[in-house]
Amino acid sequence: MMNKSETVDNKKRAVSPLESEKIEKLLVSFCIPALASSLVTSVYNIVDQLFIGNLLGVVGNAATSVVFPVVTLISALSLMCGVGSSNAMNIHRGHGDKKQAALCVGGGFGLMVIGGLIVTIPMLVWTRQLLGFFGCTETVMPYALPYARIIALSFVFAMIGAAGPFIIRADGAPNYALACIVVGSGANVLMDGLFIYGFGWGIRGAAWATFFAEGISAAMVVWYMMKRFQSFSLSGKDFKPDFKNYGRMAAIGAGPAFNFATQAMVQVFLNNALKTYGAQSIYGSDVCLAVAGVAGKVNTFAVAIVVGLTNGLQPISSYNFGRKNYGRVAEAAKKVVSLVLVLGLLVFAAYQLFPRQIVGFFGGGDARYYEFSGYFFRIFYLLIALFGLQSSVAGFFSSQGKVKQSITISLVRQVLFFPPMLILLPRLFGLMGVLWAGPVSDLAMAIVAGSLFIRELKKLKNMEEDKLKH
């Protein structure tokens, strides 16, 4: 028999908005701040590209392109920490276990610090070798080298500033989570202008602007955890190093992390293919790398839309899954995935209609530069409307702690199809074969993601029906 305190606690949990409010209203309240946070996060990359591209042109855009894989890797680790800790926290909250939920917050924060250091140290020690591995040419190396070394110093800050808002959002403060990103991004814009043009630091100024801006976002996250956390009390013992706890957090966030980590690998393969086959074409390696760099940064907006909507879905999905409200889990997921596909069609239209205008924002180039940009956007991103299934469906599975399905979706595109296509198609079609590897891989991923998603929705429906019968 339950005692009085347990009865009261259950009543409090039963009226949680996450399980009682209309799904549409919850999605608006969670997805809009999460979407805004994700879009503003992409500004960190976009702003540097704008300033550097307009200052240095093709070599500047190529420099950021060859550094971008390690930035994507940081995003992957941030998702692992943020998604893993926030989903685990919400699942434990759904079960009524606040002690374990608090340990999830501390474990997530420890992972953020460790993840940042794991990338920082090799990037500082083997900068030139890694840039060469990422596809950097000798012409671009003098610009990429200082940029990479400086931003490597910010990786711990970047991890906390990107992953921390997941926990804050799960704590019921999506607006503050958004503020952490907006303030840092705004500072980045201001300092880019000051350091690059005011102080005349060039590409180094862009890197130092990123360093200080990431530090500001991280400080805001730490302050919230120390002073404003509201779901339960946090103490120093919750942040005590616990590698078993780190492993649990990492396992839950492994799906989204694997998605982004393999994207970093894909960018390395893509850069090297463009370097090799670009040199054999009329465009040259540097032009191809520059266009890919601009396109990759622009596409962070499309990725940010999907990631933002998925991040907004996850607190709703994970909490209700923990409370065994399977019908609500399925309903929220169907609405988000449908919206992702509709917005993907709008991105597709923009890429097909305005590729030259898009790259024009990031500095000028000759006729070859603009011609290749048209090919890149129209061919490589031909199935961009379906690309959103990779993150949204994978995130849906991660919110339920189902890592295997989440990883499978990324594995199909990023490992099983894209690298082999980058080997086979260029041998048959040269540089254009590099570009066609994108849509071929997107189609394979969409088939797998769609099939797994439909099967999971049927499973949730059956689980909900069984629950109602009993």
For 357-378, the pLDDT digits (tens) are 999 888 878 899 999 999 999 9
Per the document, the length of the chain is 470
Reading phi first (left if > 0) and then psi (alpha if -120 to 50, else beta), residue 241 is in beta
Convert the pLDDT of each residue in 378-431 to its tens digit.
Answer: 999 999 999 999 889 988 888 887 878 888 888 898 889 999 999 999 999 999
Convert the pLDDT of each residue in 56-84 to its tens digit.
Answer: 888 888 888 899 889 888 988 998 888 88
pLDDT at residue 440 tops 90: yes
CA distances from 308 to 27, 41, 104, 199, 284 (A): 11, 10, 22, 35, 36
State the helix-helix crossing angle for 58-95 and 384-398, rounded to 10 degrees: 30
Reference 252, options 75, 111, 120; nearest CA is: 111
pLDDT band at 10 (very low <50, low <70, confident <90, very high): very low
Average pLDDT for 330-357: 94
- Percentage of residues in the chain with pLDDT exceeding 70? 96
pLDDT at residue 7 tops 50: no
pLDDT band at 11 (very low <50, low <70, confident <90, very high): very low
What burial letters (b/e) apply to 46-63, b meaning 16+ CB within 10 Å?
bbbbbbbbeebbbbbbbb
* Domain residue extents for the chain: 21-469
State the helix-helix crossing angle for 285-322 and 367-375, rounded to 10 degrees: 30
Question: Do the Cβ atoms of 339 and 455 come closer than 8 Å?
Answer: no
Mean confidence (pLDDT) of the chain: 87
Reference 347, options 310, 309, 300, 312; nearest CA is: 300
pLDDT band at 334 (very low <50, low <70, confident <90, very high): very high
First to last CA, the chain: 20
pTM (predicted TM-score) = 0.76
Residue 256 has a pLDDT of: 67
Residue 91 has a pLDDT of: 77
Radius of gyration over alpha carbons of the chain, in Å?
22
Structure tokens at 161: 């500033």
Sign of the torsion formed by the C-alpha atoms of 201, 203, 204 and 209: positive
Convert the pLDDT of each residue in 114-173 to its tens digit.
Answer: 999 999 999 999 999 999 999 999 999 999 999 999 999 999 999 999 899 888 988 888
pLDDT band at 15 (very low <50, low <70, confident <90, very high): low
Convert the pLDDT of each residue in 77-121 to its tens digit.
Answer: 998 888 888 888 877 777 777 788 888 888 888 889 999 999 999
